[in-house]
Amino acid sequence: MYLKTLHLRQFRNYRDQQVEFFAPKTILLGDNAQGKSNLLEAVELLASLRSHRAIRDRELVQEGASIGQVTATLEKDTGLTDLAIALRTNGRRTVSLNGENLRRQLDFLG
């Protein structure tokens, strides 16, 4: 499984950032406080639905925004899979798989 695209909207320090990955391995380079860890945190959130740095979802949403989003496209043996998480400052979140909202977050991880 490979991460093909990652799109962050109102997530941490990213207002609207799309990243495309062209190789199975990627090196992130940048000055301090430019968002490298935030990018990795978004990938962690998609993989586990948790952040190792934030206790509440509202900490992940950019200051001044009411909703943040992380979306990604994965390439698997079975084809492409689209993942999305919408984080709200009120603590509610929505997860979707291939455009379909899931009622159980556990289905997102399976």
What's the average pLDDT block by block, 10 residues per block, for the chain (110 residues)? 96 97 91 94 96 95 97 95 97 95 82
Q: What is the pLDDT of residue 110?
A: 62
Which residues make Cβ contacts (< 8 Å) with residue 80, sequence separation at least 6?
A: 4, 73, 74
Distances in whole angstroms, Cα of residue 52 to Cα of each of 43, 103, 104:
12, 24, 21
- CA-based nearest residue to 52, from 63, 62, 43: 43
Q: What is the pLDDT of residue 60?
A: 97
Q: What is the pLDDT of residue 18?
A: 98
* The two structure tokens encoding residue 94: 């929505």
Q: What is the pLDDT of residue 105?
A: 82
CATH 3.40.50.300 given to domain 2-109? yes
Q: What is the pLDDT of residue 92?
A: 93
Q: Evaluate whether 37 touches 28 at the Cβ level (below 8 Å).
A: no
